[in-house]
Amino acid sequence: MVLNTVLKLGSARKVAADGTDADAPLDVTRLLTTITDNLVGMIYRCRVDAIWTMEYVSDGCHKLTGYRPDELVFNTRVSYDQITLPEDRAQVSRTIHAALESNTSFEVEYRIQRADGRVCWVLERGVGIRNENSRLAWIEGYIQDISDRMAANEMLREAVRRYSSIFEHATEGIFQTTPEGRYLNANPALAHIYGHASADALIEHLQDISRQLYVLPERRAAFVNLMQEHGAVRNFESQVHRMDGSVIWISENARAVMNADGSVQFFEGTVVDITERKQHEAELEYQANHDSLTGLPNRLLLGDRIEQAIAKAHRENMRVAVVFVDLDHFKLINDSLGHHIGDRLLLEVADRLMTCVRSHDTVARQGGDEFVLVLTEQHDADETLAIVNRLLEVISKPWLHDGQEYGLGCSIGISCYPRDGDTPDALLRCADIAMYKAKSSGRSTYHAYTPELNQAISERLELQNNLRHALERNEFRVYYQPRVDVASGRIIGAEALIRWDCPVKGLIPPDSFISIAEETGLIIPIGQWILQEACRQNRAWQRAGLPSISVSVNLSPIQFRHTGLVQSVADALQQAELHPSWLELELTESFVMHDAERINVAMQSLKALGVDIAVDDFGTGYSSLSYLKRFPVDRLKVDKSFVRDIDSDPDDAAIVRAIITMGHALGLKVVAEGVETRAHLDFLRQHGCDELQGYFFSRPVPAAEMEVLLSGTATGPSQCTSPRIK
Ligand code: C2E
Ligand code: CA
Ligand code: CA
């Protein structure tokens, strides 16, 4: 094509500053050649034929198609139709012909295959040109490479596809909401979390988020506030209603999308259902704060409760009572009947305790057999004592299990805010100390804290400490108290009674330390020591030619539970070379009846060694005749509390007579202990009691004094015993 137009722009010739002739005519041909040659893309003129025969292409042809212009012009090597990707040819042709027919320019995007085989996208713009006969003969136009733009578009489309896939398939709920509380957008996961059939259904249904969704509408208000203040929320946890009415926990992460003027356009963010986690957390928290057996608050929660009670009492000028309840002899039940039954008993106790308190009070399990009650809104001591008396009453009701009745008891210590302290620790410590006092004053009772008790407790701790060393320092002594045969008036036995010869405190009676020895387990070595010592001493008396007597040794229930008791009795006998018939073991009645079956088995094996067995403190427990009959028992020792008033209290007299009769009916010997007066002696002799023991004859005495008593009977009626009986 030849462009030979020369335009003359203006007629005045001017010479510019740089010397060029400003008025020189513009060489449009040169201008257009420059443009066409440097244009990115290809200018062309082609025929309107089937293969778009090119008559002219600009130099850009090479860059665009990879073919030189002379290879394309007049289809020398390829036609433009050939370059056009076969799949796109029909559409290109359709578009161009439609434009030509309507005499408009066209614009079409399609792909070509370059000389190097590479496919690229092009945009062609063109217009039909008519010949002198007004027939459409050519197309003139411009083709440019739009591969980059198409690739970018494709990437954009891909990104959109990807993001909408994330939106559609995410497991997290995704939302856009208006600040007023309507949904603009929601994904299927959100619909699922909130229990709607589809995202559309959710958007349709939830028109007022704060009212319809949040359990507490304030949560939505807090959400909006945070958004307005910080533009975002992180892990914002709330409870929401699902469509089916159930309530779930969700956690939201969201941000505010702002308008150009800084106002909030909408909120967008994600939602996860954290109900399971919340439940798990709640369970863990419950477990951390509650006792697994009874479900009562545990030590940890108890501290909180006392603290809250103190704070409230402080505000309202009231008192708080902390009541420490410790079951008596629970260890015994637990060990002898088994933990399974021990657990049942604890559950029963927990139930009973609950019946004594009001809803704002706390019953907690401190551990083991210790319970603590926090009594709030206490006006005065009487109010507290009324509850404590009720506690003692309900706990002491016998407990029935498997047709067997068990006696229960507890010792109670009381401390009080503000008098005894103003922290949970202080109140618990005081109540604990008071409880110990109740235990040592005979159990099944209560004691309130006093500062003097603190002193007593530290003494007790010191005692406990010293007791540990007493055995190795050889500080224990055995005293003997004679037992006299009513018929002959002779000493036929002696009870071995332990004393602790403490270098600081002097001679300490067993009641002051046996319970500590039992608690600490020291009773095991101590009990073994006294067995050995009593056997050795008895054998020594026999070797010295004194009349043979039976020596009775008291056994603690703890020793009984300890495996190896039978062996240690056998060892003691063997070491001392004492015949078993000269040893008697005393067991308290209450203990024997705790677990009759098992104790019967143990008793049988002791009995098999050849020793005698006595039931001590008889009358204080709950003996059942049927058991007594089956037990291998030789003696009943009537408790001294019945003997004391035998001559003045008709009830006691009747009990002692009944025990004697019953014992004899079972073929047992009956011993009365605590015989202090002539009147005691007369009564007992009159009613057929077999043997007697008590201050009337002798206090417990050291071995050397016992020896004197024994030698007295050996040589005839001694000053101390026989003369008084006869
Ligand atoms: P127990 O087995 O009932 O012992 C009888 C207690 O009554 C003894 O007190 C004794 O001294 C006291 N007694 C004796 N005659 C009379 C009397 O006429 N009037 C009065 N009021 N009391 C009298 P003791 O020696 O203080 O022992 C107290 C308890 O300590 C014993 O009660 C026994 O349960 C326990 N005990 C003593 N020695 C041992 C021991 O070696 N091992 C174990 N496990 N317990 C022991
Ligand atoms: Ca005894
Ligand atoms: Ca006794």
pLDDT tier for residue 7 given thresholds of 50, 70 and 90: very low
Pick the more confident residue, 163 or 561.
Answer: 163
| Distance of CA 514 from the midpoint of ligand 1 (Å) | 11
Q: Quick one: DSSP state of residue 102?
A: T
For residues 44 and 54, the answer to whether their CB atoms sit within 8 Å is yes
| Distance of CA 649 from the midpoint of ligand 3 (Å) | 20
The pLDDT tens digits of the residues spanning 96-110 come to 999 999 999 999 999
Look at residue 378 in the predicted model and tell me its pLDDT. 87
Q: Which of 37-51, 276-290, 672-686 is modeled with the greatest confidence?
A: 672-686
Find all residues with CB under 8 Å of 17, minimum gap 6, and list them.
none
704: pLDDT strictly greater than 90? yes
CA–CA separation, 39 vs 393, rounded Å?
Answer: 110
706: pLDDT strictly greater than 80? yes
Q: Say if domain 469-711 classifies as CATH 3.90.950.10.
A: no
For atom 17 of ligand 1, the residue with the nearest CA is: 674
Lowest mean pLDDT among 407-416, 444-453, 686-695: 444-453
Report in angstroms the alpha-carbon separations of 302 from 306, 351, 359, 427, 448: 6, 17, 15, 12, 20
| Distance of CA 638 from the midpoint of ligand 3 (Å) | 7
The pLDDT tens digits of the residues spanning 349-360 come to 999 999 999 989
Q: State which ligand 1 atom lies nearest to the alpha carbon of 696.
A: 18
572: pLDDT strictly greater than 60? yes
* CB-count burial class (<10 Å; 0-12, 13-18, 19+) for 542: middle
Look at residue 3 in the predicted model and tell me its pLDDT. 41
- pLDDT, mean of residues 556-573: 89
In 523-564, alpha helices (H):
523-543, 557-561
Nearest Cα to 580, choosing from 588, 590, 571, 589? 571
pLDDT tier for residue 717 given thresholds of 50, 70 and 90: very low
| Distance of CA 586 from the midpoint of ligand 3 (Å) | 9
For atom 15 of ligand 1, the residue with the nearest CA is: 694
| Distance of CA 339 from the midpoint of ligand 2 (Å) | 29
Assigned CATH topology for domain 170-278: Beta-Lactamase (3.30.450)
Look at residue 22 in the predicted model and tell me its pLDDT. 61
End-to-end CA distance of the chain: 165
| Distance of CA 706 from the midpoint of ligand 1 (Å) | 16
Q: Which ligand places an atom closest to the C-alpha of 483?
A: 1
Nearest Cα to 221, choosing from 191, 184, 180, 258? 180
Look at residue 46 in the predicted model and tell me its pLDDT. 97
Buried b (16+ CB within 10 A) or exposed e, 188-208: bbbbbbbebeebeebbeebee
- pLDDT, mean of residues 471-495: 96
Look at residue 255 in the predicted model and tell me its pLDDT. 95
| Distance of CA 501 from the midpoint of ligand 3 (Å) | 22
CA–CA separation, 194 vs 188, rounded Å?
Answer: 10
> CB under 6 Å to ligand 1: residues?
481, 497-498, 509-511, 514, 527, 530, 554-556, 616-617, 640, 673-676, 694-695, 700
For atom 25 of ligand 1, the residue with the nearest CA is: 497
- pLDDT, mean of residues 129-142: 93
| Distance of CA 552 from the midpoint of ligand 3 (Å) | 11
Q: State which ligand 1 atom lies nearest to the alpha carbon of 553.
A: 41
For residues 2 and 30, the answer to whether their CB atoms sit within 8 Å is no
- pLDDT above 90 coverage of the chain, percent: 69
pLDDT tier for residue 15 given thresholds of 50, 70 and 90: low
Lowest mean pLDDT among 270-274, 326-330, 455-459: 455-459
Enter the tokens of residue 655.
Answer: 């009990």
For atom 34 of ligand 1, the residue with the nearest CA is: 554
Look at residue 622 in the predicted model and tell me its pLDDT. 66
CB atoms within 10 A of CB 697: 23
pLDDT tier for residue 538 given thresholds of 50, 70 and 90: very high
CA–CA separation, 371 vs 362, rounded Å?
Answer: 10
* CB-count burial class (<10 Å; 0-12, 13-18, 19+) for 72: buried
For residues 529 and 476, the answer to whether their CB atoms sit within 8 Å is yes
17: pLDDT strictly greater than 90? no
Q: Which ligand places an atom closest to the C-alpha of 693?
A: 1
| Distance of CA 497 from the midpoint of ligand 1 (Å) | 6
Q: Which ligand places an atom closest to the C-alpha of 617?
A: 3
- pLDDT, mean of residues 163-174: 90
CA–CA separation, 612 vs 629, rounded Å?
Answer: 15
Look at residue 1 in the predicted model and tell me its pLDDT. 42
Q: Which of 23-32, 450-459, 644-653 is modeled with the greatest confidence?
A: 644-653
The pLDDT tens digits of the residues spanning 443-457 come to 778 989 988 877 777
| Distance of CA 160 from the midpoint of ligand 3 (Å) | 94
Q: State which ligand 1 atom lies nearest to the alpha carbon of 481.
A: 14
For atom 33 of ligand 1, the residue with the nearest CA is: 554
- pLDDT, mean of residues 148-171: 90
Look at residue 129 in the predicted model and tell me its pLDDT. 95
Calculate the average pLDDT of the chain.
Answer: 89
For atom 35 of ligand 1, the residue with the nearest CA is: 510
Q: Which ligand places an atom closest to the C-alpha of 589?
A: 3
* Mutation to probe ligand 1, out of 479, 499, 554 (largest number of atoms < 8 A from CB): 554
Look at residue 720 in the predicted model and tell me its pLDDT. 43
- Enumerate the CATH 3.20.20.450 domain ranges in the chain, comma separated: 469-711
| Distance of CA 550 from the midpoint of ligand 1 (Å) | 17
Find all residues with CB under 8 Å of 35, minimum gap 6, and list them.
none
| Distance of CA 586 from the midpoint of ligand 2 (Å) | 6
Look at residue 113 in the predicted model and tell me its pLDDT. 96
Q: State which ligand 1 atom lies nearest to the alpha carbon of 530.
A: 41
pLDDT tier for residue 16 given thresholds of 50, 70 and 90: low
650: pLDDT strictly greater than 50? yes
Q: Which ligand places an atom closest to the C-alpha of 510?
A: 1
Assigned CATH topology for domain 2-148: Beta-Lactamase (3.30.450)
631: pLDDT strictly greater than 50? yes
18: pLDDT strictly greater than 80? no
- Enumerate the CATH 3.30.450.20 domain ranges in the chain, comma separated: 2-148, 170-278
Pick the more confident residue, 494 or 502.
Answer: 494
Q: Say if domain 298-449 classifies as CATH 3.30.70.270.
A: yes
pLDDT tier for residue 722 given thresholds of 50, 70 and 90: very low
671: pLDDT strictly greater than 80? yes
Look at residue 64 in the predicted model and tell me its pLDDT. 95
Q: State which ligand 1 atom lies nearest to the alpha carbon of 676.
A: 18
pLDDT tier for residue 2 given thresholds of 50, 70 and 90: very low
CA–CA separation, 171 vs 187, rounded Å?
Answer: 9
Q: State which ligand 1 atom lies nearest to the alpha carbon of 478.
A: 41
- pLDDT, mean of residues 228-255: 94
306: pLDDT strictly greater than 50? yes
376: pLDDT strictly greater than 80? yes
Look at residue 695 in the predicted model and tell me its pLDDT. 97
Q: State which ligand 1 atom lies nearest to the alpha carbon of 675.
A: 18
For atom 7 of ligand 1, the residue with the nearest CA is: 674
- Enumerate the CATH 3.30.70.270 domain ranges in the chain, comma separated: 298-449
pLDDT tier for residue 370 given thresholds of 50, 70 and 90: very high
pLDDT tier for residue 338 given thresholds of 50, 70 and 90: confident
Q: State which ligand 1 atom lies nearest to the alpha carbon of 509.
A: 26
Look at residue 36 in the predicted model and tell me its pLDDT. 80
535: pLDDT strictly greater than 80? yes
Q: State which ligand 1 atom lies nearest to the alpha carbon of 518.
A: 44
Helix and strand numbers, DSSP H then E, in the chain: 29, 27
Look at residue 581 in the predicted model and tell me its pLDDT. 97
What are residue 428's phi and psi, to 5 degrees? -65, -40
